Amino acid sequence: MTASAAPLSPPSTDAFTELCQLYDVLLTEEAPALSDAARTDLRAFARLFDMAMEEAGEAEVWAAVRRRLEEDLTPALQAPAEWVYEEQKQAA
């Protein structure tokens, strides 16, 4: 996997915000029941990230998926262009 220097795109952060609005209520004490579609989507996210969470509760699944999405949306720290090896400069 390679790191990307591209900034977060507004659609990515908007989508994450929408998911949080839908699923963060699962992390409260009075978590409401999810619709069948929302439950299916949540489990699909876990499978996309290869998380073996078939037996986990919905709150636990969302907490893990949320952490993973946050990690993926955090821009990777990259060295500036002037910090490259001499061989790379000569090859360019």
pLDDT tens-digit series, residues 15-29? 888 999 999 999 988
The pTM is what? 0.66
Residue 38 Cα distances to 22, 26, 41, angstroms: 8, 12, 5
Q: Which SS3 state, helix, strand or coil, does residue 25 take?
A: helix
When pLDDT is averaged across residues 60-82 and rounded to a whole number, the result is 76
**pLDDT at 54 (0 to 100):** 82
**Whole-number percent of the chain with pLDDT over 90:** 37
- Split at pLDDT 50, 70, 90, the class of 32 is confident
Quote the Cα angle for 72-74-77, to 5°.
115
**Pick from 59, 11, 65: which is nearest to 32 by CA?**
59
As a whole number of angstroms, the distance between CA 17 and CA 12 comes to: 9
